Structures are given as C-alpha cells and as structure tokens.
Amino acid sequence: MSPKGSVESADTEALLSGRHHDPHSILGYHPSPTGATIRALQPWAEKAWVEAGGEPLEMERLVGGLFEAGLHGPSPHQYRLRFQNAGGSWTVDDPYRFLPTLGELDLHLIGEGRHQKLWLKLGSRHLRHEGVEGVAFAVWAPNARGVTVVSDFAFWDELVHPMRSLGSSGVWELFIPELAPRARYKYRVAGADGTVRLKADPMARAAEIPPDTASVVEDSTHRWADDAWLSRRATAELHGGPMSIYEVHLGSWRRQEGGEPLSYRELGRQLGEYCNQVGFTHVELMPVMEHPFGGSWGYQVTGYYSPTARYGTSDDFRAMIDDLHQQGIGVILDWVPAHFPRDEWALARFDGTALYEHEDPRRGSHPDWGTLIFNYARAEVRNFLVANALYWMEEFHVDGLRVDAVASMLYLDYSRKAGEWAPNEFGGRENIDAINFLREVNSSVAEQHPGVMMVAEESTAWGGITRPASAGGLGFSHKWNMGWMHDTLDYMSHDPIYRRYHHGELTFGLLYAWSEHFILPLSHDEVVHGKGSLMGKMPGDPWRRRANLRAMLAWMWAHPGKQLVFMGGEFGQEREWSNERELDWYLLDDPGYAGIQRVVTDLNRTYKQTPALWQMDSNPDGFAWIDSGNADQNVLSFIRRDAQGAPGLVCVANFSAEPRSDFRVGVPHGGAWLEVLNTDAEIYGGSNTGNLGRVVADAEVGWNGQPSAVVLTLPPLAVLWLVPEAGRAAEPGQASSGPVVDSDPEPETPAPKRSRSLRSSTRRAAGR
C-alpha cells in the first residue's frame, strides 16, 4: 500500500464548498516519514495521475473531485498533474506546492494600511516564483469564510482554485503557474453573511469590455519615452506657469467614420495635435477608470486600478499618455474617491460585510447618487485609495488628479436633512476621517511626485483647501473656483440691458481670488442635464450669442486663475453635450463658429506669451482694478502685472451691446499700447470695430486713478487686451494684432461671408 494521509471530513466539506481558510494544508505536496502524499482538486476530471519523472502514478478519486496519491521513499517536490475526462486529457503544474508570494513585511504594511505600492502585491501579477513563471493572485477579504479564483483557464469552475488566508492581514493568496496572458477571472467569495458572491478583483489592472465584468490578468510591456517631460515636470512651478486645460470625454470627443469611439492610441495622436493647434497645455480626462455604465461618464467606478477597456488595453492607455507628453501636453485624470456604485460584482459588501463602505448608512450611503461612501476611518480602505492615487502617477505618468465631489466628502450632512446624519465625535458636521484621508493622499503625492497636481472640485467656502496639510490645510495644489463659474455664467446669461443689476457677479470673485490656488472651470457640469451648451446660455440673436461667448472666454483668460473649458465650448457647440455622439465638428464649416475657435487659439497663444497672465495668479500684487464700478455702461477694466511688478496687460471689457467711441481708460504708464486681442475682430466673426491694433497713452492726463490714459473705441459685446509696445512686437498675421478697421454695424448683422483662408485654417485646426 502507498502511504496516504487522511483528510478529516470537516476539512473535505469546507474544501468542496469553497469555505476552507487553508486549502494548501490539504492539497499539494505533503511529506511523511515514509514518503509523501499528493492531493489535487479537479471536480470535472474522471481520472488523475502524478508525473514525477518516472511512470505516472494514478491517483485515487476520493470524493467530489478530490484526488490523492501516496509516494514511497524520497520523492521530488517538483511534479506535474495529469487529468482526464471524456473530453480529453491535460497536464498542469500544481498550484498547491508553492509557498506564499507575499512576505511578512508586505503583510504587516497591508495590515497597518501603510503599503503605498499596494498594486505590486495585491491583484493579479505575473512573476517568477520558485523558478516557475505564473500569476500570483491576492485579495483583501478579512471576513470571508473562503475565497476561490474562478477563471476562464479553469472553465469558470467555482471550486477548483481555492485560495489560502494569510492570517490577520485579511489577505487571501494563490500562485497559479503557467497561466496564459490576458486570462479572465473573478473571485468567488463566501461571505461572512453566508452569501456567496462572484466579485471582480478590486486591484485588477485590467477588465473586460463592458457590459462584461470579469477582471483580466495584464502586465505592462510599454517602454516610456517621456523622460524629458517628467524631468521638466519635477522642477516645474505648479502655480506660476501657464496652464490652459481642455476637459475631454474620450468616447465622444471625436469618433471614427462608422461612429465607433477612437482607440487610446488614435486619441493620443489626434488629441495632442488638436491641443497644440488650439493652444491648450493640458487635457483633463473624465474618469477613465473602469465603469459598467457609460451614461455615468465614468463617475461610478468599479475598477479603480483598471483603465477602461472601451478604448484599448492598459498599455494602449500608457501609449496615449506617452504620446501626449511627447507632444508637450500634460494629462490630468478625474478621480472619484468620494463614492462607488452598489453593483453586486464590485466593491459593495465585498466579503459579506461593509468592507470598503461605512456600515452606518448615515455615513455610508450617498442620498443623491444612490452609491456607497468609503469608510475613511479604516486604515486598509485609506491605503486602497492612497495607493490608487500613486498608482496612476507611477504606472501611467499622469500629471495630476482632479478629485471629484470633495464637498460631499467634507461634510457629514452633505445633502442630508436633519436626523439623516450623525455628527462627529465633537458634535460637528465635518467628516474628520475624510479630512485626514485627503491630507494623507495629498501629502503622499506632494512628497513622492513633486510637480504633480491635486485639484479639488469643491463647491463650498471651506478654508485652506490648497493650504499645505502641514499648515492645517487639505494640501491640494489647486481648487476649482465654482463660485466664479456660477457667477460668470449667470451674468452672461442676462440680456445686456439688465446686466447693470448683476454687475457685482463679475467683481465679487476678486474679493477671494487669492484665498486659494484657483482654476476657473467651464466644465461638463454646465452643459448637461438640460442646462444646454455654453452657447445656449448666451442671450440674443446668433450674432450676439457668439459675440457674448467670445467676450466671456477672453474675460476668463485674462482673469486671475488657470482656465479650463469643456470640449465643444472652444468653438461654440450649440447642442447640449451627449456621451453618445461626437462633438458637432461640422459647425466649424461656419465662419461664426470657426471664429470662436480662432479666438480661443489666439487667447492661448497670447496668454503663453504674456507672463503677467500666469506668473502672479495666486498673488494679489498681480492684479489691480482700473475701473470696477461702471455698472451702467457694463464696462470693466483691470491690469495684470508680472512677477517683477511690471504691468504686462490691460483688459477692457464692454459687456453692453453698444459700441463706445472716445472711451477713456486709465493705464499705468504712457507710450504705445498694442491691441493684441480684440474679440470683435472680423476674423473671429465680429463687427470689426476697434483701434487699428495700436493706441498711444497720454502721459500728461491721468484717469481712473492711473497716471496715464488711452482713448479707445470699445466694440459691442467684446473684450480688448492691451500690452505695452515696448519690448513686445505684434505677431505678423495674428488677427487680433493686425489692423482693425473702425466701423459701426448693427450687432444683429450676420457673420461675415466665409473666406477660403479661414475655412482651410478651420479644417486644419479641427483635424478634419
């Protein structure tokens, strides 16, 4: 008789039900005083053999697909298993003969929630273990009664690959040798509540194309070529440099001829070319993390470590970012640590308990979005999120994260009525655990990735959003100025004859403009859910609507703060945005819309050339009103100064529909001033009212508290940018700095007749 060990019936029952915490204690190789016992689990095999160098040794089928063989005398630890059924036979290396792939230090750090490279240890990863190539699987499920890898390489059998629990860390682990690339898998989790669930891997680096939901084994072979970009970024000034951001939804920016979305690699080339043509310095991508429902636009994430498979593989996504970097374009990703969806196969009640979410629905359930809120008090959950932020920077070289819905994280009573929320331990409404998490993630990013942005979408007056965490702030690098956005859009939506009553909406933002490091957003939030488009918010006939939009954009680019515009806004998209179709690029065949794109192009070009517009964004010394009180005429003017204190630009806005001649504006010194931008120029679709590209200030006559003054012709619904001629030459061919002929047409006149040069220029800029 061969020496065979015995298996307790309780162990057998637990193993065959997928509820054994240590399947390696039964399966695999087990030495004995007289030899060894080898056991294997293969429920759909009829026969099994051990192949250890000699004649194959047939195994005895015990119960439920459990096989056993006893070996006499010395036996090799390395062997293979051969199985057979009516469909044929197959040979595998035995996963249960290997030691764990995680070491004690890793488990200790995971248990304490301090493993900042968590993705290198959890999830699925190819590696060479004990001399054998394979895939290591590891998942955190501390309250599970059993976890099994369920995969296409095991015909989706739910019991054949049970994992072992690695003690108090809560991690379950299994090494499966000889696994095929891009294998698909899930975890069968026998929960603490008695329910069995098939779960996607929270740490998977790739996933199936929705609506399929399995995780995918995927490791990178991409070779980066953006070293020069990263070197510049590490020493770049986050606040004192030019930044013009183009917000993009990848699936609907532009599509192929048949209507299919572009791939990551196509997007890298085309999006980079377009941003350079129009002059944007960065793209901000609506969430690319895997999400099951396209209509959520990515804000209900199920795969925090997986770029969506809709547009290609993870390496395709790397190639897109690499391409953008080589074209000089930075990449910011929207990131959603505020909440996650309730999908049964994702994070919700992962191990049969409220593992990632807070157990108390007053803190763990989001009333607006029907989603779940992370339990920021739990160290392992904070670790999952902090490591995730670092993951996108280290694995994908992203230049920043825009953190979504920060206000909902900061306040326990966010969108809740009395009685629907529980105060913190001090009786307040602040979510102290979320605050500590935000400080931790922002400090980790600042320390490990200098030059990378962390941007808060935060809509309240919470103080210190961009103050360092060490000084009591939250530690973000930038904050979206939501107040500026709402005030500006409200002002611009009024007919000019009523704007005098809303004048303060344009000036109020300058009272707090330097309280944070602001980005001025005209984001996707303002062109969805029945809000229409930016163009649709503008009042009047088509001519006036386009003039209003051009003027608002020029006002925005001159205002302190970096700027962001959602795709389509840069050429006046008329329809409300939909994720189901590409932008209405055909509008650029109309000179009126092409003119809006052209003014944005010239705004970006002049902005980059004018340090006064970006060096002092966060310093009140960089801004001074010339006249902020002329509400009756809807005229405002101000100065932007550079880091040396020199006045680099004067902005004059006429938001009335009336042209104004002989209009005196104070300027900081005498001499010639170039009209480098006039949003009413004919090339933009305007009435061509202006100042012939140049004016001379009278040094003897002061005005508006300034020592000198210029006399201007102010076009209707337009913004002028003036810069000192000294040391600044007008660019040949730049529309706004070339001759502009004075005229006084009716504002309702149609856009000018299309010219061949304008149309061809427009088509090049659109990439058509």
Nearest CA among 554, 561, 695 for reference residue 637: 554
Instruction: Decide if 457 is catalytic.
Output: yes
Q: What angle do CA 238, 440, 330 make, to 5 degrees?
A: 30
H or E segment at 480?
A: strand 478-480
Q: How many Å apart are CA 120 and CA 115, to the nearest integer?
A: 10
Q: Which among 433, 438, 413, 415 has a CA at the least distance from the CA of 423?
A: 413
Q: Quote the CA–CA distance of 594 and 592 in Å, as a whole number.
A: 6
Annotated catalytic residue 322: no
**CA neighbor of 363 nearest in space, from 436, 413, 405, 407:** 413
C-alpha dist (Å) from residue 401 to 283, 349, 359, 391, 698: 11, 27, 28, 11, 48
Residue from 640, 643, 680, 642 nearest 660 by CA: 680
Catalytic member of 457, 487, 590, 680: 457
Strands 57-58 and 330-335, sheet pairing: unpaired
Q: Which two tokens stand for residue 83?
A: 């199985």
Closest listed residue to residue 604, CA positions, set 329, 228, 332: 329
Q: Which of 218, 404, 433, 617 is catalytic?
A: 404
Cβ atoms of residues 139 and 202 within 8 Å:
yes
Asked if residue 559 lies in contact with residue 625, where contact means CB atoms within 8 angstroms, the answer is no
Secondary structure of 503-566 in HEC code, one letter for each residue: CHHHHHHHHCCCCCCEEEEECHHHHCCCCCCHHHHCCCCHHHHHHHHHHHHHHHHHCCCEEEEE
422's tokens: 């529980």
- Which stretches within 124-207 are classed as H helix? none
> How many other C-beta atoms lie within 10 A of the C-beta of residue 747?
21
Q: What is the helix (H) or strand (E) element at residue 324, kind and residue range?
A: helix 314-326
> Pairing mode, if any, of strands 518-522 and 562-566?
parallel
Rounded CA-CA distance 351/163 in Å is 14
Q: Indicate the helix (H) or strand (E) that contains 410.
A: helix 406-410
Residue type, 23: P
Cα separation, 543 vs 271, in Å, equals 29
Contact assessment for residue 401 and residue 332, using Cβ atoms and an 8 Å cutoff: yes
- Pairing of the two strands 244-248 and 562-566: parallel
As beta bridge partners, residue 703 has: 706
* d(C-alpha 193, C-alpha 172), whole Å: 18
Tokens of 484: 């500026």
| Residues noted as catalytic | 404, 457
